């Protein structure tokens, strides 16, 4: 898929050092692209940029198509004359520059955006009329206002005419709440307008944007509300079964995600139209796309609705390689971590998509471990770690003496195979060495999460799965983190190992 060797950094937009409590699509994003360009790093990998809700996870969005309004840059709105700096610079968006305070953003940010909406004149924007007629955007805006009207309850608990999308009831609701719905449309218009400008800048800088798409959507989403027939639901709208993964050596109960399952038979009947629209829209934002839980296209795990754990689930057949007919022109990376069997290997072979190789998974002592650099080839994306793992430094610091000794011995062997020196012993130096190994490996794409690049400990962790914590999805970088020395080091690695 990749025509040359590439290197990238995983940096969530929210983690950028923007003013206003959260990373945005404004100046800090442009400066980050400049940093990557000057460091000879050609790929910026992001987490999903859709709206987030309870728990703040970008993988549990209320829309497969909408953008996250928190990422709108207020300074750019001021430059357009839609805001005045004194209207938002004094607002308390959170006191800790290292953490996103989502509660403060919810309280304060929308009030500033409403001021901008009050000055917005649609007739001055040539593309607004077409945007506002987009059915996905209109339904998302309506969904948001309905949730506000019904105290943020799940759509399944709304009064029946709204729950079941009675056309007359929805038309009357829009007529009565037109300003609120149009405000939500305005936010989406601004988000995508700002993103489009950023993407153009990235293209000019030679930096590709690498996005991420969850396989499943949230039950309380506009997608399920709007397309109930595309999901495995009962007549009353409750799921027949939900998504998860079975028990393994790390979890006796498995993982119960709770997302509604896709009705692949129904989707097959219309040629997977919703999915293909979803992917096509994603590639308006990104140059490369990672599809999360790729194994679900081969077989997926279904847990009966109402279960308290994932123990009683069963495997069901997914759509297989036929789903990807007509998608060959897209640059897709398959997230193939977790329980991988022969069916998934076959699907990867048939699609030709590169899978993921995570170096922190490589040191269990198994000489055939597929994550060892000596065991994988060019058609792969190699990572030091992922958003769901502790930073490499934190992982190393948590090792026993025996585990560290084993890792060092294996790493020495891998370094010899790559013609690299191996003198690393401390968590910091071992983190640096794993970054070097990723760059040196045969994988076509090497991606380093920001927390490993900055050699952060547990404080820099992106997410701890199966936990609800204000430390998930909240760590932010400071501008001072990205030094000239760091930029020169990355540039040296990129040149040394032929990556861009």
State the pLDDT at residue 56.
96
Which of 212, 223, 335, 432 does the annotation list as catalytic? 335
State the pLDDT at residue 112.
96
Question: What string of DSSP letters covers 247-283?
Answer: -BTTBTT-EEEEEEPB-HHHHHHTTSHHHHHHHHHHH
Using alpha carbons, select from 249, 270, 351, 261 the residue that is nearest to residue 303. 261
Using alpha carbons, select from 11, 6, 16 the residue that is nearest to residue 45. 11
Residue matched to tokens 């934002």: 285
- 452 classed as catalytic: no
Which of 87, 134, 166, 292 does the annotation list as catalytic? 292
Run of H or E residues at 289 = strand 288-291
Q: Provide the 3-class DSSP secondary structure of residue 423.
A: coil
- 458 classed as catalytic: no
Q: Cα separation of 281 and 325, whole Å?
A: 17
Condensed to tens digits (0 to 9), the pLDDT of residues 166-213 reads: 999 999 999 999 999 999 999 999 999 999 999 999 999 999 999 999
Q: Cα separation of 434 and 486, whole Å?
A: 16
Using alpha carbons, select from 463, 422, 425 the residue that is nearest to residue 440. 422
Question: What string of DSSP letters covers 324-342?
Answer: GTT-TTS-EEE---SS--H
Using alpha carbons, select from 49, 44, 386, 445 the residue that is nearest to residue 214. 49
Question: Could you tell me which residues are beta bridge partners of residue 53?
Answer: none
Which of 325, 350, 388, 481 does the annotation list as catalytic? 388
Q: Cα separation of 114 and 145, whole Å?
A: 14
- Spell out the residues 6+ positions from residue 379 whose beta carbon is closer than 8 angstroms to its own: 1, 352, 354, 355, 444
Q: How many residues does the chain have?
A: 500
Condensed to tens digits (0 to 9), the pLDDT of residues 395-427 reads: 999 999 999 999 999 999 999 999 999 988 899
> Are residues 56 and 89 in contact, defined by beta-carbon separation less than 8 angstroms?
no
Task: Give me the tens of pLDDT residue by residue for the chain, a chain 500 residues long.
Answer: 788 999 999 999 999 999 999 999 999 999 999 999 999 999 999 999 999 988 999 999 999 999 999 999 999 999 999 999 999 999 999 999 999 999 999 999 999 999 999 999 999 999 999 999 999 999 999 999 999 999 999 999 999 999 999 999 999 999 999 999 999 999 999 999 999 999 999 999 999 999 999 999 999 999 999 999 999 999 999 999 999 999 987 788 999 999 999 999 999 999 999 999 999 999 999 999 999 999 999 999 999 999 999 999 999 999 999 999 989 889 999 999 988 999 999 999 999 999 999 999 999 999 999 999 999 999 999 999 999 999 999 999 999 999 999 999 999 999 999 999 998 889 999 999 999 999 999 999 999 999 999 999 999 999 998 888 999 999 999 999 999 999 999 999 999 999 98
State the pLDDT at residue 483.
98
- Spell out the residues 6+ positions from residue 168 whose beta carbon is closer than 8 angstroms to its own: 161
The CATH number of the domain covering residues in 6-354+444-496: 3.20.20.80
Strands 208-213 and 288-291: parallel
Using alpha carbons, select from 449, 446, 441 the residue that is nearest to residue 477. 449
């Amino acid at each position: 898929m990749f025509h040359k060797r590439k290197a990238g950094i995983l940096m969530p937009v929210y983690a950028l050092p923007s003013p206003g409590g959260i990373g945005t699509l404004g100046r800090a994003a442009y400066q980050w692209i400049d940093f990557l360009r000057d460091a000879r790093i050609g790929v910026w990998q992001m987490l999903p940029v859709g709206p987030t809700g309870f728990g703040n996870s970008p993988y549990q969005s209320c829309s497969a198509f909408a953008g996250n309004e928190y990422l709108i840059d207020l300074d750019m709105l001021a430059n357009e004359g839609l805001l005045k700096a004194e209207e938002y610079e004094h607002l308390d968006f959170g006191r800790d520059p290292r953490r996103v305070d989502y509660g403060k953003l919810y309280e304060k940010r929308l009030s500033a955006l409403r001021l901008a909406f009050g000055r917005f004149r649609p007739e001055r924007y040539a593309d607004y009329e077409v945007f506002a007629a987009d059915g996905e955007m209109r339904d998302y805006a309506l969904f948001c206002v309905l949730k506000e009207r019904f105290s943020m309850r799940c759509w399944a608990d709304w009064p029946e005419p709204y729950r079941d999308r009675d056309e007359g009831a929805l038309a009357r609701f829009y007529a009565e709440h037109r300003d609120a719905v149009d405000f939500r449309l305005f936010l989406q218009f601004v988000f995508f307008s700002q993103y489009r400008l950023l993407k153009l800048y990235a293209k000019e800088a030679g930096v590709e944007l690498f996005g991420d798409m969850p396989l499943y959507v949230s039950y309380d989403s506009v997608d399920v509300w709007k397309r109930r027939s595309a999901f495995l639901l009962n007549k009353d709208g409750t799921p027949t079964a939900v998504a998860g993964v079975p028990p393994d050596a790390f979890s006796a109960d498995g993982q119960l995600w709770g997302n509604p399952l896709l009705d692949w038979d129904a989707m097959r009947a219309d040629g997977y139209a919703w999915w293909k629209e979803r992917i096509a829209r994603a590639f308006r934002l990104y140059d490369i796309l990672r599809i999360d839980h790729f194994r679900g296209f081969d077989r997926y795990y279904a847990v009966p609705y109402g279960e308290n754990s994932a123990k009683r689930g069963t495997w069901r057949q997914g759509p297989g390689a036929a789903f990807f007919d007509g998608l060959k022109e897209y640059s897709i990376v398959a997230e193939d971590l977790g329980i991988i069997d022969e069916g998934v290997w076959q699907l990867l072979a048939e699609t030709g998509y590169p899978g993921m190789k995570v170096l922190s998974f490589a040191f269990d002592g198994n000489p055939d471990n597929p994550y060892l650099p000596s065991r994988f080839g060019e058609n792969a994306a190699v990572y030091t770690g992922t958003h769901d793992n502790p930073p490499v430094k934190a992982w190393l610091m948590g090792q026993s003496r025996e585990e560290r000794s084993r890792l060092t011995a294996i790493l020495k062997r891998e370094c010899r195979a790559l013609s690299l020196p191996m003198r690393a012993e401390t968590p910091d130096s071992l983190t640096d060495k794993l970054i070097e190994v990723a760059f040196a490996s045969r994988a076509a794409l090497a991606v380093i999460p920001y927390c490993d690049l900055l050699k952060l400990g547990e404080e820099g962790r992106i997410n701890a799965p199966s936990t609800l914590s204000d430390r998930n999805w909240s760590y932010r970088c400071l501008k001072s983190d990205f030094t000239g020395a760091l930029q020169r080091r990355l540039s040296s690695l990129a040149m040394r190992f032929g990556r861009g």
